Structure 1
Amino acid sequence: MSFLDTVAMKLLPIANAIGNQRHLQSIRNGLISILPLTIVGSFFTIVLNLPIPGYSEWVAPYLAALDVPFRFTVGLMSLYASFTIGANLGGSYKLDKITSGFLAMLATVLMVVPINLAEGVNQSGEAVAAGRYLPIASLGSQGLFGAIIAALVAVELYHFTKAKNLEIKMPDGVPPVVGESFGALLPTLLVILLFWIPRHFFGFDLNGLLTIAISPLKGFLTGNNLLGGVITQFVICVFWVLGIHGHAVLGPIIRPFWDQAILENAELFQGGMSAFDLPNVFTEQFYQWYAQMGGTGATLALVVLFMFSKSKYLKQLGRLSILPGIFNINEPIIFGTPIVMNPLLAIPFILVPIANTILVYIVTALNWVPKMMVKPPFSIPAPLGALITSNWNWVAFVMVFVCFFVSLAIYYPFFKAFEKIQVTQEEQAQVEEA
């Protein structure tokens, strides 16, 4: 048994346990469910910053109105995420998904302290009636981890009351929707008491506590820490080499940090901060467009090498994989080559994203390219994706091609060695057939 086989056997049970854990799976699926909101909302940031001469002056009178879609999508992402996470966790317990989602939202909103205004004005200078208003900032990216905890706790309370039969049961013949509503009365009361009393009577700020607790990890994984960026790439690629979906395993753990990082950048940029001054370098988009163009391992370069290979199989595989590769889908090349359990190609598969990460980090630290602040679909080709997410910075566009040629240079010697083996096998197969 090879070393890679031994490592895979050791890690596979751990990876499966993480990937199938009920709560982590609900977080991952819940955050994926709100992708349409965050992606479409991010495009309004692009609309406000098109690189057209005179455009900023022309759009200035409409800024307040054009900002609304962003604020009610990305700006409320914690509220939406609480519902989808709660619904997914409730579904895993065979609970009513809608009730689970509403309880999760209720818990999230109860952690927000309303602003009590006697009078005031809005952005347009119009008078605002006196009353209690929820600050939208508390329901944006900064409240994401609080929303996750609130959703999980709320649904666990719901599950507890169901498991212990602590619910109001309606007679037979009552419509299921009505029966489910009455059955949720006690968990609703418990959620209110659990989140309302500590926050509004004792001043317990769960969001503030979580911010302090996770700030070192957030700074390590998504801030400006190069070691964190390198380790992230290394672990994801190693899992893929072992035949384990790296993003599926690490996604439930690291995706909340990625989402919070890019949305924090987006909110600050929308508020007027320069893209060069944004706090988070290592967003998911940084990896997608720079380190992993063509998919994990930056395999687009390998696909191009395959297209001109002397091996008939590799040439055919390259031609079949080029179109998916351009749109950052690389399962055909990973499993068709295969790269999985392939000691020769595993080395550049791991080294290339790390090299690209270090290179672009240096360029970013020198303020030659800005940080990324919008969240377009992952399937956008890398040069265009980097251009859009960097506020139309042409240096970012060029850096994608620099990273591509770096990837080619690293992959090339390993590709030639693998090609030689493949050609020899094909010649032997031809002799045997003859």
Structure 2
Amino acid sequence: MSHYFDALSVRLLPIANKIGDQRHLQAIRNGLISILPLTIVGSFFTILLNLPINGYSDFIAPYVAILDVPFRFTVGLMALYASFTIGSYLSDSYKLDKTTGGILSMLGTLLMVMPVQIAKGVTTAGKAVAADRYIPLTPLGSQGLFGAILAALIAVEIYRFCKVHKLEIKMPDGVPPVVGESFAALLPTLLVVLIFWIPRHFLGININELLSILISPLKGFLTGNNLLGGIVTQFFICLFWTMGIHGHAVMGPIIRPFWDQAIIENAELFQNGMSAFKLPNIFTEQFFQWYAQMGGTGATLALVVLFLFSKSKYLKQLGRLSILPGIFNINEPVIFGAPIVMNPLLAIPFIIVPIVNTIIIYVVTILGFMPRMMVKPPFSIPAPLGALITTNWNWFACLMVFVCFFVSLVIYYPFFKAFEKTQIAQEKGESVSDLIKSEQSAS
């Protein structure tokens, strides 16, 4: 069967490399990853507001508005921060000034979401606000993420176009570089203003709403409640890993914007009072982290535990080395140490187990036994605790982690035993058939 993996690798590797090396997708991936501290810290404040302690809600009631501020200015402004980081990374890939690229991207994003007209009399903190004098936060959160991505890509491409065609104001030699770069950005800034300002404020085109309509089918397929979408996502991530290709690096630029939008949307709705059982998105990244992929991609924690009790000296030692990283969802030691890469005996369950776990938790969630996820803690938190935190301290959700772990053990076991025989045979310098015969005669 290994030759099938070789043939598949030959076909998919060039495609995977093109996706992974594409500069715009790389900028999106790196830009979203770089704002993880903001979303994680913001998620902790969601947890702080919803601790499952008797009388806690009444105790913090006078302070809810204050405690909500960090969430609104971290998670709630995710699109604004992402526009800057994506623009910075894309500018850097073109050898342009990162800061200028980030600022132009933020400018485009803000021009895109500014209301065309606001009625007078809107108040904030008890004070009247003049017409057209405030920026709404909602489009700068999860709803505006794809608009921010588009704005960043367009703004930086305008910046690059001006640089390539030397459409810039050149300052004399001897002028400090910072000043020279500022003047060089004048024309790109004007073009960004015109390109985003005219459609929004003169033509009345709401780009954010158009994007939401266009991507809603794909978003619903990948991160909503579509089981097939969850299965497809897991299949390709695991398949790439079995060929030695970082599955998340290939799929991340495509799926991560949807994952981030889904968890932030859940968080915002939960923060506004919606029940965790009624949140719109099941397939967030956290869903896969704590259930489908406990111990890392492929749910390899179960395999590592089996290695600990292996009769093979090598597998037992590998299990000891891999168990601690595995508990914290880091599984490169077992993926490349067993290896799982290009190893059909272990690659098959590596792909099957996350899909089975996905189906189990999906069914349990759809039936209403456990809530959706609404916070984004670090991926390195052990699965039971991660499931507990992300589901508003739901103990049944935590219990389902152990159910998935047991299912993973059952699926991995026959493949593990077959692989173990090959390892023991190698350690004894025998063929597998000779080893089986000796075991049969001994029994």
What TM-score does the superposition give when structure 2 sets the normalisation length?
0.95
Query: Residues of 2 paired with 1:349 and 1:116: CA distance?
Result: 54
Equivalent pair of 1:117/1:133 in contact (CA under 8 Å) = no
Distance apart, 1:239 and its partner CA: 0.5
Asked if 1:271 is matched to 2:272, the reply is yes
CA RMSD of aligned residues (A): 1.2
Give the structure 1 partner of residue 440 of structure 2: none
Query: Residues of 2 paired with 1:345 and 1:353: CA distance?
Result: 13
Within 5 Å, give how 1:403-414 maps onto structure 2.
403-414=404-415
Distance apart, 1:3 and its partner CA: 1.1
Query: Residues of 2 paired with 1:364 and 1:118: CA distance?
Result: 45
Q: Which amino acid aligns with 2:130?
A: A
**What SS does structure 1 have at the residue aligned with 2:38?**
helix
Q: Which amino acid aligns with 2:97?
A: D
Query: Residues of 2 paired with 1:343 and 1:73: CA distance?
Result: 44
Within 5 Å, give how 1:171-320 maps onto structure 2.
171-320=172-321
Distance apart, 1:121 and its partner CA: 3.6
Deviations 1:347-401 (A, max 9, x none): 1101100000000000000110000000000000000000000000000000000
Query: Residues of 1 paired with 2:63 and 2:268: CA distance?
Result: 18
Within 5 Å, give how 1:67-146 maps onto structure 2.
67-114=68-115, 116-122=118-124, 126-131=126-131, 132-146=133-147
Distance apart, 1:429 and its partner CA: 7.5
Distance apart, 1:421 and its partner CA: 1.2
Give the structure 2 partner of residue 18 of structure 1: 19
**What SS does structure 1 have at the residue aligned with 2:171?**
coil
Gaps of 5+ in 1: none
Give the structure 1 partner of residue 437 of structure 2: none
**What SS does structure 1 have at the residue aligned with 2:299?**
coil
Distance apart, 1:128 and its partner CA: 3.7
Give the structure 2 partner of residue 399 of structure 1: 400
Deviations 1:50-95 (A, max 9, x none): 0000000111111110110000000000000000000000000110
Distance apart, 1:117 and its partner CA: 4.9
Distance apart, 1:301 and its partner CA: 0.2
4+ long deviations beyond 6 Å: none
Query: Residues of 2 paired with 1:170 and 1:113: CA distance?
Result: 34
Query: Residues of 2 paired with 1:120 and 1:54: CA distance?
Result: 35
Give the structure 1 partner of residue 441 of structure 2: none
Aligned residues: 428
Give the structure 1 partner of residue 358 of structure 2: 357
Within 5 Å, give how 1:147-166 maps onto structure 2.
147-166=148-167
- Further displaced range: 131-140 or 224-233: 131-140
- Further displaced range: 199-208 or 295-304: 199-208
**What SS does structure 1 have at the residue aligned with 2:118?**
strand
Gaps of 5+ in 2: 432-443
Q: Which amino acid aligns with 1:15?
A: A
